[in-house]
Each structure stands twice: as structure tokens, then as C-alpha cells.
Chains A and B, each alone.
Chain A
Amino acid sequence: MPKVKETEILIVGGGPAGLSAASAAANLGASVLVLERDGKPGGQLIKQTHKFFGSKKQYAGDRGYQIGDLLIEQCGNNPNVEVWTDTTALGIYEDGVVTAEGQAKHLKINPKKIIVATGASEKMIAFPNNDLPGIYGAGAVQTLMNVHGIVPGKRVLMIGAGNIGLIVSYQLMQAGVEIAAIIEAAPTIGGYLVHASKIQRAGVPILTSHTITEAYGDESVAGAIICKLDESWQPVSGSEQDLKVDVICLAVGLSPLTELCFQADCQMKYVSELSGHVPVRNEYLETTRPGLYVAGDVSGVEEASSAMVEGRLAGISAACSLGYGEDIAPKLQAEALAELSELRAGPAGQKTLRGIMNLMDKGGAVC
């Protein structure tokens, strides 16, 4: 019989939210185990080469991978934190036992509290031949380029002019790859103008109100047909352009990775502002399953900055519920909540706030 691993707080996911949750809870005295399916913790921070915005407390001015290294170091220096890499959580059972697969073994863990920080996965859009090799999610391009030092091809069509589309385009240019165009179905650029201007100054067109109508190629991408959209988002006939590209990169958003929350029987709700189905949770990020918290993109897609603060909030809340740091926890929770409000004060944050209002509201369709 395999032994059951006992821990006070189990954190599923060692990205920005999970690692922040781990050090926050451990700093209050709780013993923490982090499960990370990759060989190295850090989540998607490890491939972010751009400098972060926000305030000093959210590591503004540092590059993503540097922030990742810092979070890993904080956890590594804390004797209360244990990180199991190459370990994938499989399920959360009625009695609270969590199973996982690691080093080809079936593992059982019995935690007192659980924080799910599984992140998000990339969205796909529908167009003919969207399954051809050479069509990648923007995160895959970043992994190839910024982790492995390999360019995905010679000439790229980027779909989506949100921050990810803009940043990844710029990173491709830094790696010496040509960007044929960035297209965006919306009439305006979604990302920060500071990113867009850098790209436009280098001569790359950002075509708003444009979409892809099809990709073509035999065994892999050889090109794409794009066209203009009118005010009602309908293709304008005769506006088609044929772009010879060997890579199509999709930066069309992310979906929360909520399988574990569904499986654990958390109450779920579809909230478009949060990019999909998300678990219903209270202000301190505890879901409808008592003792199960969420943090980061799994609770609504945002940015790494807010994921780190949410992680800290969930970590403090879980530790406090076990009796750790009861004297200072309320103050720390209030600080984290204030930081989240500050991060969500901009136009993009307004959408998130609407989503959270919608999520916490009793009304609406609940599944």
C-alpha cells in the first residue's frame, strides 16, 4: 500500500499564484506542499521576457522570468515549503484525499486545505485548416523561442492585438523573425499602446477589423487568407489578402483550467468577463467546497501581477483558517485586497471587476 502524504496546505500548480500562495502560507507557519507538473516551477513566468507594470510590490520593472526565479527562491528558502516537480494532480476525492502522478507513481496526499492554482489554457478560433502544423498558441511560440531558443519559422501572421499578441510579436522580432501582420477582429487594439507603438514603429502593420478566413498548405502552413470586417463584424467581400507565412500564431485569449474544480464539485458559473467557467468563491477566494481555495487564472483570466496577489490572499486565508497568524492575517488580507483593487483600477480591470460582481451575485445561470 502506498503511504499517504500528510500536509497542511496542498497547492496545485507552481506558477505565480501557487508559489505566492506557498510562501504567504508558509511565512505564517503552515506546512505547504506544491504540486508542479513541469520539471521546474514558475509556470508561464519562465518564458516572459518583458518588463512588468504595476507597483514595486508587484515587481514592476522586472522581467517575468526574473520574477519567476525570485518566487522559486522565496519558496526554496522556506523550510515549510516542499515542491514536487514533474507531478500532476489527478483528482480530489470526497474525503479530501488528492491523488497525483509523479515519477510514474500513483501518489496520495491528505491535506487539511487545498489551493487550486492551475492557471489557464490557450483558446482556439474556428477557421478552415486551423489544425495545420505551423499554427501555434502564442504561449507555445514563447516556449520554443524564450525557453528553448528556437524560432518557430521565418514569417508569422499574429492573430490578436491584445497584450499577448503584441508582446509575442515584439519578442519574435527580437529573435529575428518577420511579422507579416498582426490582425485583430475588434475595431481597436486591445493591448497597451506602448507595446503597439514599438511594433508599428518597426513597420509591422496592425490591422484592426480584420480576421483570418482560412489557412492553407499541404502538410504544414504555407499561407493565410485574411479579410476586412465591417461594423457588424461581417467579412467585406473583395477585401481578401493572401499572406505567404509559414507560422500562424493565435493570441486569442485563455480559458481557466478548471477541471479539478468541476471534479471537486465546486459550484461553477460561466462568466464571459473572466474568460469562461470559473468557481464561485468568496472575497478570500474560498470556493463553495469548504477548505478549497482558488487563485490566479483558474479563478478568472487576468495577468501574472494579480495572480501573485491572489495567491498571497489565498495562502494567508488558508493558513489563518488553520489557526496560523490569526493576529496579523486580517491586516495582510486587507493589504492584498487593496492591491487587487489598485491593479484592477485601469480599463482592463473594470471588465474583471464586472466579472467578479457577476460571479459573486446570486443571480444568473449556475451549473
Chain B
Amino acid sequence: MIVVNTETIPGMRIVETRGVVQGNTVRAKHVGRDIAAGLKNVVGGELKGYTELLTEARRQSFERMIAQAQQLGANAVVNVRFATTAVTSGAAEMYAYGTAVVAQQGA
């Protein structure tokens, strides 16, 4: 599965469009992570726990989007975008969407 956030795939021709595919997830970290982040907020620096939270959420929504694309018989997803929403404190909703297409070798 080729996934890009551009409208085209270099060296490939989009022969068929299968429609918009999407995946979303709402994830949270356990309370220990939230407390650790609160403490880290005193000294400064990266909040690795929350970075991890976003990474996990992004991966999961991404996988769900790709699963949908596979169901539609696509071999690539183009113009992928991510959006996040604040659902509640310490949680992230990650939403991934793109256009599932069938691409063939050759420009």
C-alpha cells in the first residue's frame, strides 16, 4: 500500500478512484502518565508520554484508514490528511482520511 499526502504518486498513474477512506480513534494515557506530564511541566522539556499518545493514536487511525482502502481494493491512498480534536483532558482524537485509488506503474 502506497500512502502519500500529495495528490499524485511519482512514476505512477492513477487509473481508478475508489473514494474517501477514513480511520479514527480516541486514545488516552493512564493516569500515571498524566501525573508524570504534570511534573514534567514544572521543569520544561518534551512531554514524551503525550508524544507517544499522539504517535499511537496516529498509527491506529492510519491502520484503520488503510484497512478500509484494502477493502475497497485500492493499492494506494493519496492526499492523506490528519485532523485532531480535543475530546477530553489528556485524550486525543485522531482522524486520518485520504482518497483510495488504484495506481499503475508508468506516468
A and B: real partners?
A: no
Q: Taking beta carbons and an 8 Å cutoff, which residues of B are in contact with A?
A: none
